[in-house]
Structure 1
Amino acid sequence: MARVTVATSDIEKAAQVLRAGGLVALPTETVYGLGANAEDPAAVARIFQVKGRPPSHPLIVHIAAAEQLDDWVEEVPASARLLAERFWPGPLTLVLRRGHRVPLEATGGLQTVAVRVPDHPVALSLLSAFGGGVTAPSANRFGAVSPTTAEHVRAELGDTVDFVLDGGSCQVGVESTIVDVTGEMPSILRPGGVTREDLQAVLEHPVAVPSTSGVRVPGQHPSHYAPRARVVLVEPEKVVAEAELAQELGQQVGVLLPPSLAGAAVKAHAVVALPGSLDAYAHRLYGFLRELDQQGCDLIVASLPVEEGLGLAIANRLRRAAGPRTSA
């Protein structure tokens, strides 16, 4: 997939903004991140302020190469080294013991830190030019749909971001897989762009996906990745009936129509026919949710894909999007 070329002068300007304690929105292969100097507690605090993110929610530190991992963590177990060698640069985040360079403001007060090397030429150029680590959660309001284009960032955060690097549309479209490698056996704390099957093939043993964990990581809030519209999840064969009933009751209904119902007529306000490929679905998931919001839907009816490969990550995002929301 083609990516937008960014001028060297823009990369250097973004690096200067980071050095000055500012915030830079940067593209990665997963989603756009809201970046700050990982070693500057005041800059990191600005991320939480701009996003409206609780300070107890840790951030991911992005670095330029796997060889830099030892600079940011206390120790690197053999399993972590193996995963980094295989999947970096790429959509994999490793949770390890925090090194002295990482302030507690970036870890939510934890003694663990999440680290990854993004697979996007613009992000890697910025990290190399900056020369340090960059904390970069998704560049959106806390709990909302993650941005996969620079336009999404500008529309949501506006001038609260000091500089936006436009690297085109994000290739993967869902966040990185977060793997805890602090225990005896690695476990997936958040499914994402690297699949469980891929991890197991490299590690040569099963990888658990625990329902709860003692390690806090991004994306674990009950309501997350959520559009303005309320999301309801039903079995695939019930999507049409559920949507039409809600529409008859006066709601403006958006439908994520599963491939198994391709071509079905649906009486709803807006219908998105989902692609048959899980890669294509993940790439466009957040765009679909934003599109239905923009069309004025107040309810989105969807179903979960088969939870294999990227389907595990898509299902995770849809469950969070449909999670209970706290009233303002």
Structure 2
Amino acid sequence: MDTKIFQLSEIDQAAAAIKAGQLVAFPTETVYGLGADATNEDAVKNVYLAKGRPSDNPLIVHVNSVAMVEQYAAEIPDNARKLMKAFWPGSLTIILKIKKHVLSKTVTGGLKTVAFRFPDCQPTLDLIAKAGVPMVGPSANTSGKPSPTTAQHVYHDLHGKIAGILDNGPTRVGVESTVLDMSTDQPAILRPGAVTKKDIESVIGSIDVNHHKVGKNETPKAPGMKYKHYAPNAQVYIVDEGTDWGDVVKWIQAQPFDVGMMAEEQLLQQATLPMNAVQFSLGTGVKDASARLFDGLRQFDDQPNVKAIVTQAFPAQGLGGAYMNRLNKSAGGVHFDPAMLR
């Protein structure tokens, strides 16, 4: 199968592919999603096949209006409507109970809920409108690998497996949406993102953050809760705040292979780096770092001589919470330890 890069002037062609049951990757403000008609079970099954995604990992359904949600949700609580008004279109995914038999178990993972998102990306809203259906949209990458933030990332992973990619350039946010469960009495964040706990509580009051570890035989309510995510081939080491980067540089120099170094531009400029250090700038501050994290991890995946990646941590507040969530998963919780020098 040839995978076509659709330009924004070719949205009609991309929509025709979706209506024909084919897969088309689409841009959002967070990452690129792998789109299929959410009402076409065969098309949705092909999303799992293309990604190599476990079948009990439910999919987020992308919409372009609250009215589209109303077609499928059993109810939309008042607080959910308040959040939709405050943050849609935007980086907030809301889990709701759904009507019986409106979406297949392939979409829901067999649950009685589904996650809805109204992305802040006009080309994708136009794509949904022209296709006339909601679209499932997990990240458009090989399952478990860093999420794609450019059309080229998608093409790298999925060319020959999908019909096309709607190219809107690099994404702005770079980490996936916040997932909020509104199907229970007490709302809870299941995955952190750019819309923070503080943001949500300013609209609806106190909410929880779910730290439940999903069991082997349990179906997760949201992506990213159960399976390995965001991991490049090389081992990632988190460099915590307060760590002496001089120790990090000494450790890099002692390695018999190349080491990727992901840090803020100022830090990279100040450091005297050994020949085997391969730099990737995270820009300035956590906003830049979040937008660039997956791009950096992917670039190092294309450099087989890079066998380890040291990556700067940020305070886990606000957007930093989402950044550190993804970085921790990428590293498997492994932190740089000065004892590694001994």
- The Cα shift of 1:242 comes to 3.6
Question: Contact 2:30–2:173 at 8 Å: present in 1 too?
Answer: yes
Q: Aligned partners of 2:249 and 2:34: how far apart in 1?
A: 35
- The Cα shift of 1:186 comes to 1.4
Matched, 1:277 2:278: no
RMSD: 2.1
Q: How does 1:1-328 map to 2 (within 5 A)?
A: 6-7=8-9, 10-99=10-99, 100-203=101-204, 205-212=205-212, 215-236=220-241, 237-242=243-248, 244-258=250-264, 261=267, 263-267=270-274, 268-295=276-303, 296-323=305-332
Q: Which residue of 1 aligns with 2:217?
A: none
Question: Contact 2:56–2:109 at 8 Å: present in 1 too?
Answer: yes
Give per-residue Cα distances to partners, 1:95-118, cap 9 Å, x unaligned. 111233211101111111011111
- The Cα shift of 1:274 comes to 2.8
SS at match of 2:123: helix
Q: How many correspondences in the alignment? A: 319
Give per-residue Cα distances to partners, 1:45-72, cap 9 Å, x unaligned. 0000010000000000001112322112
Gaps of 5+ in 2: 1-5, 215-219, 335-342
When normalised by structure 1's length, the TM-score is 0.91
Q: How has the CA–CA distance of structure 1 residues 39 and 6 changed in structure 2, closer, same or farther, with 3 Å as cutoff?
A: same
Question: Contact 2:144–2:227 at 8 Å: present in 1 too?
Answer: no
Give per-residue Cα distances to partners, 1:7-56, cap 9 Å, x unaligned. 1xx21211111111110011111111110110111110000001000000
Q: Aligned partners of 1:77 and 1:244: how far apart in 2?
A: 55
SS at match of 2:35: strand
SS at match of 2:300: helix
When normalised by structure 2's length, the TM-score is 0.87
Give per-residue Cα distances to partners, 1:176-201, cap 9 Å, x unaligned. 10000111221110011212221121
- The Cα shift of 1:170 comes to 0.8
Q: How has the CA–CA distance of structure 1 residues 114 and 270 changed in structure 2, closer, same or farther, with 3 Å as cutoff?
A: same
Q: Which moved more, 1:172-181 or 1:288-297?
A: 288-297
Identity %: 38
Q: How has the CA–CA distance of structure 1 residues 5 and 51 changed in structure 2, closer, same or farther, with 3 Å as cutoff?
A: closer
Question: Contact 1:12–1:126 at 8 Å: present in 2 too?
Answer: yes
SS at match of 1:224: coil
Q: Aligned partners of 1:46 and 1:179: how far apart in 2?
A: 27
Q: Aligned partners of 1:192 and 1:269: how far apart in 2?
A: 30
Question: Contact 1:223–1:322 at 8 Å: present in 2 too?
Answer: no
SS at match of 1:298: strand
- The Cα shift of 1:304 comes to 2.3
Q: Aligned partners of 1:199 and 1:95: how far apart in 2?
A: 14
- The Cα shift of 1:208 comes to 2.1
Question: Contact 1:239–1:257 at 8 Å: present in 2 too?
Answer: no
Question: Contact 2:93–2:178 at 8 Å: present in 1 too?
Answer: yes
- The Cα shift of 1:297 comes to 1.4
Give per-residue Cα distances to partners, 1:282-314, cap 9 Å, x unaligned. 111111212233344111112421011110000
